[in-house]
């Protein structure tokens, strides 16, 4: 892998960690959402609906990424167990089976000779990060960077109703 691609992946991984709350947060985005009243946003109904659908899509993509990470970890544990089985078979005199595990199964990739860490890295760099950036740019342009506009407006309506006793 080239140094430029390594640097880009490291930057992209930081972006993903920040989106997942694992890194430093973008304080500008937080301050915008704290100081901008969602009801002051000049969004059409279609824009609000599109932002909501895009936000839900991104959330599902992040859940998919979590499932991909779980797959990566589970398969890693399975490979460790196969390595242990290789050792046990060899110790008990089953060289042929132990050699087959060592030579054919353990080094094999999960998908088209690719290991799961490669799938995780490619998903992150080629799919997750670009879509996160796209969603961020749309939200920045349409909603001053505020996320969950639909939910914030709904929350406000429910709280106003509760405070007013309307029922």
Residue 12 lies in a domain: no
Residue 3 lies in a domain: no
Q: Is 54 buried (19+), middle (13-18) or exposed (0-12) by CB count in 10 A?
A: middle
Residue 71 lies in a domain: yes
Residue 16 lies in a domain: no
Percent of the chain at pLDDT exceeding 70: 77
Query: Which pLDDT does position 164 carry in this prediction?
Result: 85
Residue 104 lies in a domain: yes
Alpha helices in the chain (DSSP H): 3-19, 27-35, 45-91, 95-100, 116-123, 129-143, 149-164
Tell me the Ramachandran region of residue 113: left when phi exceeds 0, alpha when psi lies from -120 to 50, beta otherwise: left
Residue 2 lies in a domain: no
pLDDT confidence band for 26 (50 / 70 / 90): very low
What separation in angstroms does the CA of 8 have from each of 26, 118, 122, 132, 146? 19, 15, 12, 15, 26
- For residues 41-68, give the mean pLDDT: 96
- For residues 134-142, give the mean pLDDT: 96
> Domain count of the chain?
1
Residue 30 lies in a domain: no
pTM of the full predicted structure? Answer: 0.72
Residue 22 lies in a domain: no
Handedness of CA 17, 22, 26, 29 (dihedral sign): positive
Range of the domain at 54: 44-164
Percent of the chain at pLDDT exceeding 90: 72
pLDDT of residue 22 exceeding 80, the answer is no
């Amino acid at each position: 892998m080239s140094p430029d691609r390594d640097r880009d992946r490291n930057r992209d991984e930081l972006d993903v960690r920040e989106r997942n709350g694992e890194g430093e947060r973008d304080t500008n985005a937080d301050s915008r959402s704290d100081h901008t009243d969602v009801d002051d946003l000049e969004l059409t109904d279609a824009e609000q609906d599109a932002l909501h659908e895009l936000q839900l899509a991104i959330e599902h993509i992040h859940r998919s990424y979590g499932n991909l990470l779980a797959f990566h970890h589970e398969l890693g544990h399975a490979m460790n167990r196969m390595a242990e089985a290789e050792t046990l078979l060899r110790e008990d005199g089953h060289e042929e089976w132990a050699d087959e595990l060592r030579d054919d199964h353990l080094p094999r990739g999960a998908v088209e000779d690719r290991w799961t860490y490669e799938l995780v890295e490619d998903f992150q760099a080629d799919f997750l990060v670009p879509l996160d950036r796209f969603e961020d740019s749309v939200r920045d342009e349409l909603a001053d960077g505020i996320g969950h506009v639909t939910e914030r407006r709904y929350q406000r309506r429910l709280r106003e109703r509760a405070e007013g006793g309307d029922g």
